Structure 1
Amino acid sequence: MKRYEVYKNIRKRAVMFGLPISLFALMMVSIIASLLIIIFSFSFIMIIGILIFNATLYVALSKLTHNPQLFQMAKAFPRIISNKKTSGLVYEQD
């Protein structure tokens, strides 16, 4: 008899095939576009190329999910932290 595991991480975000919902939707759009391309093209090389593209897209998205720091451009913390009120007035002369 098959046993099913109870999903206890209800507070974590939803995951399908190891991808968050937004990245899973991107993957599904890519697969549907690939199916349309396969239907309207009769080239075997095109089919192999699309399969390789979808596989690499899935691997890249899953790597991005497990390591989100790969594409982080900005620093995590600001250079200066201040409690001063910000205003548009400039009191200095250039």
Structure 2
Amino acid sequence: MKRFEIYKNIRKRAVIFGLPLSLFAVMMISIIASLLIIIFSFSFGIIISVLVFNAVLYIALTRITNNPQVFQLAKTFPKSISNKRNSGLDYEHD
């Protein structure tokens, strides 16, 4: 008989349509907004542009999911952590 390990953190890695839950929520808000735009507009160009916008947004969100380092501009941790007050004077030479 097989034994399965209990996995309690399933929501951390949950994926819907290739997107994590937070990005999937962004996509759903965009789709609902685009449906409202389609309902209240009578222009064919606006309908096509909304569909193209949703497709581009989905592609961008999947790329962000696959490569999260794109938006990481600064280092996560500082070089050193200290309680001392920073006087601005550096006595060490490299």
Q: TM-score range by the shorter chain?
A: 0.7 to 0.9
- CA offset digits 1:41-85 (Å, max 9, x no partner): 000000000000000000000000000001111124423x35x5x
Give the corresponding residue for 1:25.
25
The structure that is helix-richer by fraction is: 2
- Cα 1:89–1:69 change in 2 (3 A) is closer
Unpaired runs of 5+ residues, structure 1, are 1-7
Instruction: Please give the TM-score of this superposition, normalised by the length of structure 1.
Output: 0.73
Distance 2:84 2:47 in 1: 59
Q: Deviations over 1:9-54 (max 9, x none)?
A: x556100000000000000000000000000000000000000000
Question: Which structure 2 segments of 5+ residues have no match?
Answer: 90-94
Taking structure 1 as reference, are residues 59 and 87 closer, same or farther at Cα in structure 2, changes over 3 Å only?
Answer: same
Match of 2:41 in 1: 41
Percentage of identical aligned residues: 60
Task: Supply the RMSD in Å over aligned alpha carbons.
Answer: 2.2
Aligned to 1:74: 74
Any residues of structure 2 matched to 1:9-24 within 5 Å, and which?
11=9, 13-24=13-24
- Provide the residue aligned with 1:51 in structure 2: 51
Q: TM-score by structure 2 length?
A: 0.73
Equivalent-residue separation in structure 2 for 1:40 and 1:58 (angstroms): 23
Equivalent residue pairs, number = 80
